[in-house]
Amino acid sequence: MSTLFDRIGLLYTGDPGREEIEHAALVVEDGRVVWTGPSGDDPGADERVDVDGRCVIPGFVDSHAHLVFAGDRTAEFTARMSGERYTAGGIRTTVAATRAASDALLAARTAALVAEMLAQGTTTVEIKSGYGLTVADERRSLEIARGFTEETTYLGAHVVPPDAPSADDYVRTVTGEMLRSCAPYARWVDVFCERGAFDADQTREILSAGIKAGLLPRVHANQLGHGPGVQLAAELGAASADHCTHLTEADVEALSSAGVVATLLPGAEFSTRSPYPDARRLLEAGVTVALATDCNPGSSFTSSMPFCLALAVREMGMTPLEAIRAATRGGAWALRRTDVGTLRPGSRGDLVILEAPSYVHLAYRPGVPLVTQVWKEGRRLV
C-alpha cells in the first residue's frame, strides 16, 4: 500500500542534501518513504492525502525521557517556584512510589505519557529505568518500557537509594546482579554523573560494565555544575551527553572531536529555574545538538517536544531551523538511528502535518496545538 501526501506547502525533510522543499509531495510505501519532490512530479500512489498547503515535518525523536514511574511531586515543584534550589533529591520520593506501584499502574501511566507525546508529534521515544533501584524494580521498569519502544535505557545508576548499605555496595549491585537482570531488556546504559549521584570513577565503572554486557553508553552530564560527565562520554564513546548545561572549553572540544551528541533538555531548566545551556556555543564549535523533553515527574514534567523547541529558540540561541533539526535528525543521531528523524527515501514513514505553513510556527506560536495529523510507518495514528 502506498500513500501520496500532496500539495505540501513546505516539506522539512531533515536530509542534509535537500533539507526543505516548497510546494512538495511525498510518497510512503509499505511504511517507508520512497519519494520526495515537487508537487505534481510524483510517481503516483494507491491513496492520496491532500495536505492543502500545510507544513510537513518528520516525527519528533525524543531521545531522553523517564516515563516509568508512580507518584506526584507537585509539592517539590511548588517549593522550587517559591525559591528553593533544585538538588535532585526528590528522585528518592519517586523511587518509593514506584516500588509500591503495581505493574498495571506503571504500564498505564507510561501508556498515557506515550500517548501524550504521540499527540504532539513524537513518533520515536527513548525510555529510561531509574525509579526502581532494586534488581526486581529496575528489571520490571525496563520490561514495561520495552512494551512501548525499542530504545530502552538501563539507568540503575540514577542515585544511590537510601536503603543501600553504601555507595560502593550499590555500585557493585548496579554492575553485577542488576545489570545481568536488566541487560536483556535494554539497548543503552546511562549514569547520572553529578554531585550527589555518581562520581567519575563510579560512572566509568558502571558504563564500562554496561558496554561489556553489550549495551551502548550515554551519560547524564554537567547538569548541576561543572563535572566529569562530558569528558567521560567522550572517553567511552557515548552516543550522547545529556543536559550539558555547564561546560568548559575543553568540554565543548571533547564533544566536537569525539562526535558525541549534546542532548539539550530545556524543560529541565524551565522547571527548575536554572540557567539554560548555550546551544549557540555548541553549534558554532561543530557539535551535533539534539533536543529532548527529559519528561520526568520531578525536574521536567512535560511531554511536549514543540514546547521544548520553542524554549530552545527563545532561551538557548537556536534558530527555528536549528531547533527543528535538533528535535528530529539530532535526536535520531543521539540514538544512532538513520531510519527516523528524516523524510527521505529509505526513512521510516513517520511524519507530522502542522496546522501552519512552516515549522517556524512551532516557536512563533508557543503553546498552540499545531500538530494536526501524526503518521507512523505510513499509518495515521492521530
Model confidence band, residue 89 (pLDDT cutoffs 50, 70, 90): low
Region 74-78 average pLDDT: 87
Task: List pLDDT tens digits, range 174-191.
Answer: 999 999 999 999 999 999
> Whole-prediction pTM value?
0.96
Q: pLDDT by residue (tens digit) across 100-125?
A: 999 999 999 999 999 999 999 999 99
Position 91 scores a pLDDT of 84
Q: Report H helices in 101-158.
A: 103-119, 135-146
- Sign of the Cα pseudo-torsion (202, 203, 205, 206, in order): positive
Q: How many CA atoms, within 13 angstroms, populate the side-chain half-sphere of residue 142?
A: 26
Q: What is the mean pLDDT of residues 333-355?
A: 98
List beta partners, residue 264: 291
Band of the pLDDT at 87, cuts 50, 70, 90? low
Q: Of all residues in the chain, what percent carry a pLDDT higher than 90?
A: 94
Band of residue 88 on the pLDDT scale cut at 50, 70, 90: low
CA 84 – CA 86 distance, rounded (Å): 7
Separation of alpha carbons 135 and 147, rounded Å = 19
The pLDDT tens digits of the residues spanning 131-190 come to: 999 999 999 999 999 999 999 999 999 999 999 999 999 999 999 999 999 999 999 999
Per-residue pLDDT tens over the stretch 12-50: 999 999 999 999 999 999 999 999 999 999 999 999 999
3-state secondary structure of 349: coil
